[in-house]
């Protein structure tokens, strides 16, 4: 989702309008990627039909759910600390039930019930529809686990309740799982094989959001470019689908085209892309529609072809650079952002310099940069020693972050003197007299409120900026 890990959102408690007839209280906390936040909205929707309203008071909850992330060890440690906190509350309120959802549930399975005695419920990412049955098991005094990964489940038939949102921007999930098998990544093990959601249910969800007044959607998946609907089933089974199914399949470019055509007033983003699956047709669709944002989040992970090969990324440094050139030929003002992993096993000083020089070539608008974290069960953990010292990882990370800061400042300053369209999302955190919103290039912009309102598309003349924020003056509705 964004990419998808928004540090400001980590640990957010989600609260939505209460249903009058519901008397039980659900406290749901989410960590990790946008997909997890989107999944929590699906879980809350399922539980709203079971008599639960959300609360942000842990102490009054009947059911506490934590939607977890396994992507790095640090993410798991954070959740473990939260489980200790829930445990403390549970000692005061023994009737409270605690459940672990998401990637950690999938990775650790029953271990949670055996080792972390405070957990009553363990539910993997494909088993959320089973939560009502699992709760019955718990009420009857049994521990409840369902971590079965599915070939079909996309939750296309569940209308997510939008939790703690701004009523303006929303995520719409289009694929689940991932087939890429990058050697560092735990996602294929925790979220299963890749499958796509029926385009009609995606379009219905966008229609519904438009009717409710939403102005921007982000099409969400671990690897959106790989979207392929041929009537249901796993992406890997497409080859054995019937001729008719293959001939009438919908790919990501077609889905994007359909969504943008059906809703010319809705701003559309997508995340995350993977360079090996990005087809040129998608770039032409982005160029064709004014309402699709000229921004692509294109994780590269390393600038060294040797490391990319060790990571099982299916492209070289040169192929990635060619893709970047092609993006700018087709969408000249496209902003590009990155994910980078620092200190992958065997990474040398020379590999690190190649990452820095690739960054110099692209000058990304922004990026998410992480030290390599070995994940149990992945190919890298099995085959490669985590041999870059913590000290070297930290030093290289600092160099990469400093370089990104420099490039973000350059990219942000390119908008000085220009007029950009901003979708107002909320009041600026720093100044209550200013609105804050984002441009299509995904820059945050702030400006005096005047008579504008959240949800308005406003033309803003940019007069100043910091490294990451545009500062300006509204000059009219867009
Ligand atoms: N579709 C994206 C791609 O192209 O790789 C994957 C999104 S992934 C769920 C989010 C990001 O987490 C990755 O892009 C990567 O930078 C980071 N990540 C994944 N596994 C990691 C690990 N073992 N250590 C450090 N960072 C990791």
Residue 477's closest CA among 429, 434, 433, 419? 419
* Ligand 1 site, residue 380, Cβ cutoff 6 A: no
User: Is pLDDT at 110 greater than 90 in this prediction?
Assistant: no
Contacts of 203-212 with CB under 8 Å at 24 or more apart are: 203/258, 203/259, 203/262, 205/159, 205/160, 205/172, 206/172, 206/259, 206/262, 206/263, 206/266, 207/262, 207/263, 208/159, 209/170, 209/172, 209/266, 210/263, 210/265, 210/266, 212/167
Which pTM does this prediction carry? 0.93
Residues 135 and 43 in one domain: yes
Q: What's the CATH code of the domain at 219?
A: 3.80.30.20
Q: Look at residue 64 in the predicted model and tell me its pLDDT.
A: 96
Write the DSSP string, 418-449. Answer: -EEEEEEEEE-SS-TTEEEEEETT--EEEEE-
User: Is pLDDT at 183 greater than 90 in this prediction?
Assistant: yes
Q: What's the CATH code of the domain at 74?
A: 3.40.50.12160
Residues 176 and 75 in one domain: no
pLDDT band at 2; cut points 50, 70, 90:
very low
Range of the domain at 58: 12-146
Identify whether 180 is part of a domain: yes
Q: Look at residue 240 in the predicted model and tell me its pLDDT.
A: 93
Average of per-residue pLDDT across 124-136: 96
User: Is pLDDT at 40 greater than 90 in this prediction?
Assistant: yes
Cα 132 to Cα 63, 171, 307, 443, distances in angstroms? 12, 25, 45, 41
CA triple 275-75-191, angle to 5 deg: 55
Residue 375's closest CA among 103, 162, 110? 103
Residues 211 and 352 in one domain: yes
User: Is pLDDT at 369 greater than 80 in this prediction?
Assistant: yes
Identify whether 2 is part of a domain: no
Residues 176 and 121 in one domain: no
Residues 129 and 192 in one domain: no
24 class by beta-carbon count within 10 Å (0-12 exposed, 13-18 middle, 19+ buried): middle
Residues 22 and 78 in one domain: yes
Residue 83: φ, ψ to 5°: -65, -35
Distance 185 CA to ligand 1 centre (A): 6
Q: Whose CA is nearest to atom 11 of ligand 1?
A: 339
Distance 300 CA to ligand 1 centre (A): 10
Residues 291 and 204 in one domain: yes
Residues 99 and 192 in one domain: no
Q: What single-letter DSSP state applies at residue 311?
A: T
State yes or no: cis peptide before 272, omega within 30 of 0: yes
Q: Look at residue 8 in the predicted model and tell me its pLDDT.
A: 53
Residues 199 and 347 in one domain: yes
Ligand 1 atom nearest to CA at 185:
20
Q: What's the CATH code of the domain at 470?
A: 2.40.50.140
Inter-residue contact 168 to 159 (CB < 8 Å): no
What sign results for the dihedral spanned by CA atoms 46, 49, 50, 54? positive
pLDDT band at 117; cut points 50, 70, 90:
confident
Q: Look at residue 5 in the predicted model and tell me its pLDDT.
A: 43
In a mutational test of the pocket of ligand 1, which residue from 75, 370, 374, 400 has the highest number of ligand atoms less than 8 Å from its CB?
A: 370
Q: What single-letter DSSP state applies at residue 458?
A: E
pLDDT band at 241; cut points 50, 70, 90:
very high
* Ligand 1 site, residue 192, Cβ cutoff 6 A: no
Residues 183 and 232 in one domain: yes
* Ligand 1 site, residue 339, Cβ cutoff 6 A: yes
Average of per-residue pLDDT across 390-415: 98
Identify whether 367 is part of a domain: yes
* Ligand 1 site, residue 299, Cβ cutoff 6 A: yes
Rounded to the nearest integer, the mean pLDDT of the chain is: 94
* Ligand 1 site, residue 270, Cβ cutoff 6 A: no
Residue that finishes a domain, picked among 89, 115, 146: 146
Q: Is 334 annotated as a binding residue?
A: no
The three-class DSSP label of residue 27 is strand
Residues 242 and 366 in one domain: yes
Residue 57: φ, ψ to 5°: -105, 105
* Ligand 1 site, residue 375, Cβ cutoff 6 A: yes
Identify whether 156 is part of a domain: no
Please count the residues of the chain.
Answer: 478
Identify whether 88 is part of a domain: yes
Q: 6 or 145: which carries more pLDDT confidence?
A: 145
Identify whether 335 is part of a domain: yes
Distance 73 CA to ligand 1 centre (A): 13
* Ligand 1 site, residue 175, Cβ cutoff 6 A: no
Identify whether 152 is part of a domain: no
Q: Is 465 annotated as a binding residue?
A: no
User: Is pLDDT at 58 greater than 60 in this prediction?
Assistant: yes
Distance CA 458, CA 207 (A): 23
Distance CA 90, CA 77 (A): 20
Inter-residue contact 377 to 106 (CB < 8 Å): no
Q: How far apart are the first and last CA of the chain?
A: 26
User: Is pLDDT at 1 greater than 80 in this prediction?
Assistant: no
Residues 203 and 250 in one domain: yes
Domain count, the chain: 3
Identify whether 404 is part of a domain: no
Percent residues over pLDDT 70 in the chain: 96
């Amino acid at each position: 989702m964004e990419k998808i890990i928004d540090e400001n959102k980590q640990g957010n408690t989600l609260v939505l309008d209460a249903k009058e007839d519901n008397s039980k209280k659900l406290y749901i906390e989410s960590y990790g990627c946008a997909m997890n936040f989107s999944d929590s909205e699906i879980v809350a929707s399922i539980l709203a039909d079971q008599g639960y309203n959300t609360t942000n008071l842990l102490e009054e909850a009947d059911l506490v759910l934590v939607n977890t992330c396994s992507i790095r060890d640090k993410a798991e440690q954070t959740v473990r600390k939260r489980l200790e906190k829930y445990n403390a509350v549970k000692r005061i309120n023994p009737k409270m039930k605690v459940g672990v959802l998401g990637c950690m549930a999938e990775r650790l399975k029953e271990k949670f019930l055996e080792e972390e005695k405070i957990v009553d419920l363990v539910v993997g990412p494909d088993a959320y529809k089973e939560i009502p049955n699992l709760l019955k098991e718990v009420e009857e005094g049994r521990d409840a686990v369902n971590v079965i990964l599915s070939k079909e489940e996309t939750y296309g038939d569940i209308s997510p309740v939008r939790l703690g949102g701004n009523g303006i921007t929303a995520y719409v999930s289009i694929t689940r799982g991932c087939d890429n098998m990058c050697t560092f990544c735990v996602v294929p093990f925790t979220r299963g094989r890749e499958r796509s959601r029926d385009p009609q249910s995606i379009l219905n969800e966008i229609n519904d959001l438009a009717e409710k007044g939403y102005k921007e959607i982000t099409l969400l998946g671990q690897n959106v470019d790989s979207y392929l609907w041929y009537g249901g089933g796993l992406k890997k089974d497409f080859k054995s689908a019937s001729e008719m199914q293959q001939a009438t399949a919908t790919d990501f470019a077609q889905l994007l085209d359909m969504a943008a055509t059906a809703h010319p007033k809705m701003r559309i983003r997508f995340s995350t892309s993977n360079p090996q699956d990005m087809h040129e047709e998608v770039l032409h669709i982005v160029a064709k529609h004014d309402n699709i944002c000229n921004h692509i989040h294109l994780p590269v992970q390393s600038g060294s072809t040797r490391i990319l090969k060790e990571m099982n990324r299916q492209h070289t440094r040169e192929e990635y650079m060619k893709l970047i050139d092609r993006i700018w030929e087709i969408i000249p003002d496209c902003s590009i952002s990155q994910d980078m992993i620092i200190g992958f096993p065997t990474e040398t000083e020379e590999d690190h310099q190649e990452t820095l020089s690739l960054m110099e070539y692209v000058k990304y608008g922004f990026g998410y940069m992480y030290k390599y974290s070995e994940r149990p069960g992945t190919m890298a953990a099995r085959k490669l020693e985590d041999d870059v010292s913590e000290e070297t990882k930290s030093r290289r990370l600092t160099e990469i972050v400093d370089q990104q800061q420099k490039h973000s400042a350059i990219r942000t300053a390119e908008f000085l003197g220009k007029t950009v369209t901003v979708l107002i999302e909320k009041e600026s955190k720093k100044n209550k007299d200013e609105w804050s919103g984002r441009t299509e290039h995904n820059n945050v912009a702030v400006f005096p409120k005047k008579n504008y309102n959240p949800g308005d598309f406003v033309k803003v003349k940019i007069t100043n900026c910091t490294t990451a924020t545009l500062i300006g003056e509204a000059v009219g509705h867009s």
